């Protein structure tokens, strides 16, 4: 679940004129699995007020199918769209690559990355073709949910188990294959029911999906959630560039990280706390080392395939190594070279 806005292009009426100019009307299509009353839609309410003060009057339409949001953005039925980071990748590769597998482990690291993305130096990277990302917010840590805690004991225990994989998310399919699991195609709308009726053994999701998608039904009495962070979800707002001014896009990115972050992170952390303690399976010691090594190998494989933005991939490695310079990867040439 991502909040990304694409903005660029010429100055439009109502954006650079006098404070008394009538605001321009634009359509914002927002993905929220719960709909207009969901957590993502809640995060946008203050933003809508801010945007109006800058001369843009957004009409918000909430969608429960993210694929339809993306199609409507491409068809210009939406001027802006709120999407998850990985879905944003098809519009702006640099911004969408933020959600890479194992790229970040903490909210502090994610905040650092989003601040870099909102800086003037990164402005050119936040636009691609007719689209611009005009804001990024946190969507939560992504965890592996399993209908049986035993499947989380080791990578070997996961071998052969069926895992729901979002169809357009190549990195998730690679993770499943490397771990020896059997990927089963799913969508954001279908993976919850598939996990809950045990059509699959495992699914990955942020904690914000736990209650809305009733994932506790799939966990039952014997299920578990690995506390190892597979990735960090972002909510990104993508806009059609020529429907907004470049100044508005830059200001929107700064607003998201300076004003939107605190509210969003409170909601995300609250969602993390909704998963009962009895479900958590602690991944530490050798198991954690193996998981980290596996995800590092996968990122290098996807680097070689040029699936991620190399600029983003090296940035996230630098952030990881700034946090913990003792990580083995920091002295290797993986993902763009040594940090030390």
pLDDT, tens only, 170-222: 888 888 888 888 999 998 888 999 999 999 999 999 999 999 899 999 999 99
How many other β-carbons are positioned within 10 Å of the β-carbon of residue 320? 22
**What three-state secondary structure class fits 206?**
strand
CA–CA separation, 274 vs 269, rounded Å? Answer: 9
pLDDT of residue 132: 98
CA–CA separation, 278 vs 268, rounded Å? Answer: 20
pLDDT of residue 16: 40
pLDDT of residue 21: 67
DSSP type of residue 259: I
pLDDT of residue 313: 95
Q: Please, are residues 153 and 25 in contact by the beta-carbon 8 Å criterion? A: no
pLDDT, tens only, 18-44: 345 688 999 999 988 777 777 777 778
Q: What is the pTM (predicted TM-score) of this model? A: 0.89
pLDDT of residue 6: 36
Domain boundaries, the chain: 3-139+232-272, 142-230+277-323
Torsion of CA 56, 57, 61, 65, to 10 degrees: 10
Selecting from 3.10.450.50, 3.30.950.10, 3.40.190.10, 2.60.40.10, what CATH number does the domain 3-139+232-272 have? 3.40.190.10
Residues 6+ apart with CB under 8 A from 280: 224, 225, 227
CATH top-level class for 142-230+277-323? alpha beta
In the numeric block, the tokens 């650092």 are attached to 112
Q: Do domains 3-139+232-272 and 142-230+277-323 have the same CATH topology?
A: yes
Q: Please, are residues 153 and 160 in contact by the beta-carbon 8 Å criterion? A: no
Residues of the chain under the 70 pLDDT cut = 1-21, 339-340
CA–CA separation, 200 vs 165, rounded Å? Answer: 10
Structure-token pair, residue 125: 């990277």
């Amino acid at each position: 679940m991502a909040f990304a806005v694409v903005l660029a292009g010429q100055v439009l009426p109502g954006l650079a004129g006098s404070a008394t100019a009538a605001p321009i009307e634009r359509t914002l299509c927002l993905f929220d699995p719960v709909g207009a009353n969901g957590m993502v839609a809640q995060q946008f309410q203050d933003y809508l007020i801010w945007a109006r003060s800058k001369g843009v009057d957004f009409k918000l339409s909430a969608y429960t199918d993210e694929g339809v949001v993306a199609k409507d953005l491409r068809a210009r039925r939406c001027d802006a769209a709120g999407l998850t980071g990985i879905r944003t990748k098809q519009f702006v590769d640099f911004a969408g690559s933020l959600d890479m597998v194992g790229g970040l482990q903490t909210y502090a690291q994610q905040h650092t990355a989003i601040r870099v993305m909102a800086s003037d130096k990164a402005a050119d990277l936040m636009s691609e073709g007719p689209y611009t990302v005009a804001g990024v917010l946190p969507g939560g840590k992504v965890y592996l949910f399993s209908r049986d805690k035993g499947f989380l004991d080791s990578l070997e225990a996961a071998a052969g188990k069926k895992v729901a994989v979002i169809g357009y998310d190549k990195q998730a399919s690679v993770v499943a294959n490397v771990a020896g699991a059997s990927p089963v195609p799913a969508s954001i709308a279908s993976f919850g029911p598939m996990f809950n009726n045990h059509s699959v053994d495992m699914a990955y999701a942020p904690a914000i999906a736990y209650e809305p998608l009733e994932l506790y039904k799939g966990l039952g009495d014997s299920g578990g959630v690995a506390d190892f962070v597979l990735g960090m979800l972002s909510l990104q707002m993508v806009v059609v560039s020529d429907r907004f001014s470049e100044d508005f896009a830059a200001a929107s990115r700064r607003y998201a990280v300076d004003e939107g972050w605190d509210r969003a992170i409170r909601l995300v952390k609250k969602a993390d706390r909704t998963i009962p303690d009895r479900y958590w399976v602690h991944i530490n010691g050798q198991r954690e080392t193996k998981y980290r090594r596996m995800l590092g190998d996968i990122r290098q494989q996807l680097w070689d395939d040029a699936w991620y933005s190399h600029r983003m991939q090296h940035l996230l490695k630098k952030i990881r190594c700034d946090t913990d310079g003792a990580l083995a990867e920091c002295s290797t040439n993986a993902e763009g070279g040594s940090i030390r």
